[in-house]
Structure 1
Amino acid sequence: MTYLSKSNNSFKSRLRIFLFDKIINGQAVDSFLLEEFLQYDLSGKQSLINKFTAEFYHTKRKQNLSGTDMQIDDIYLSMKEAERDLKQMLPNWRKEYFHKVFRNQLQPDKFKELQEADTCYYCEITLNEILELVHNKKIYKKNERGWRMEIDRKEPNQEYSNENCVPACYWCNNAKTDEFDAEEFKPIGKAIGELLRERLKKLP
């Protein structure tokens, strides 16, 4: 989990919605759109994001996307074609996004603060409690995550930003995925924390 990797993930989130927006509105996608892309603000486009995540991905390929005369198949193929057409430009777009957008959205000091956090925003488990569970062989995950808090987006399909990011333990971050926002997930996080602490209570 590096600062650059989070920038790249955030870039992909913006790019997907940007291309989707252009295509369903019949607008051209070309290399001259860089400045427009850099100014494209996802925070004001939640209804469009919902259309992309909750309708585009969950409508049969031969059906039209509501409000358009385009089939899901055609939109999908147009997005792939746009990405191919922009392939040579995207490294520069990604670099420009990092320097002109991301460093202002999720500032380096905030990123460091999130990395060094010791308590999960959702279940409130601490790193010390996790280490105690590990020491007593009460953790059963099969990967190398979990030794530090991860960075989660409260609104999962928005970009990484100071306001949208919180520290999350591996278990909460893994369970939350991109399906739940922070408020929806809070009760689930609470249950995860209670379960992990029950294991602590049973230690000799």
Structure 2
Amino acid sequence: MESIIKFLVFVALLGVCSSQFTCTSLPSDLAKCGTDHLSSKMPELAEMLKGTTDFIALAVLIPHWKDMCMYPDDVKNFFTCSFNAIENCADSDFIGTYPTSSRFIAGFDYACSKVNDVDIGCYQINQRAIHECAMTAAGSPPASDDIKDIVEHNCRIFEAEVECTSLSMTTCEDSRNIIETYLGYLTRPACSAAIYFRPSLLLSTVMIFVAYFMNKQ
């Protein structure tokens, strides 16, 4: 779990990078969204997400689908509130590195329609391997503040986690297909236009080995 926490911190640091946001109120605005829409029914989730953009990271919400789908209106209100806060603060050059609110909510609706068919436990068993694989594939963050480099790196993170999910969940194909479809809703608009390095066949092989090895630990 330590590696997962490190990866989520890594994603969170990218999300709150000062060059990507034009206001300082975002953490408090996001915390208020959680307080207003999650705290009364899902206090642990509200506390976990408090003041961060972590809910956008692919791995964060999947283990909580069953609980979240019990309160769909509250969750969707939280998403809408949070995305409004992000859009109000995000620099125009970076807004495309986040999924759109409508697609994110559509993805949640899809997840809830499949929540009784997906094996969340299979995803959780593979979660560490997925993140180790994604960290390896995405590489180090850019050393410069160049907008193009930051956008491309954010896109590499997204694609790496999607690919590593597919590579790791080999023992539960039906659940993998559901999660792959869900991840399709979370695509970043900027990434479809970005030109960035895609993992080679050799790297993909390494990623498969890493995923397999981590599952054996």
Same fold by TM-score, threshold 0.5 exceeded? Answer: no
> Which one has the largest radius of gyration?
1
Greater helix content: 2
Normalized against structure 1, the TM-score is what? 0.27
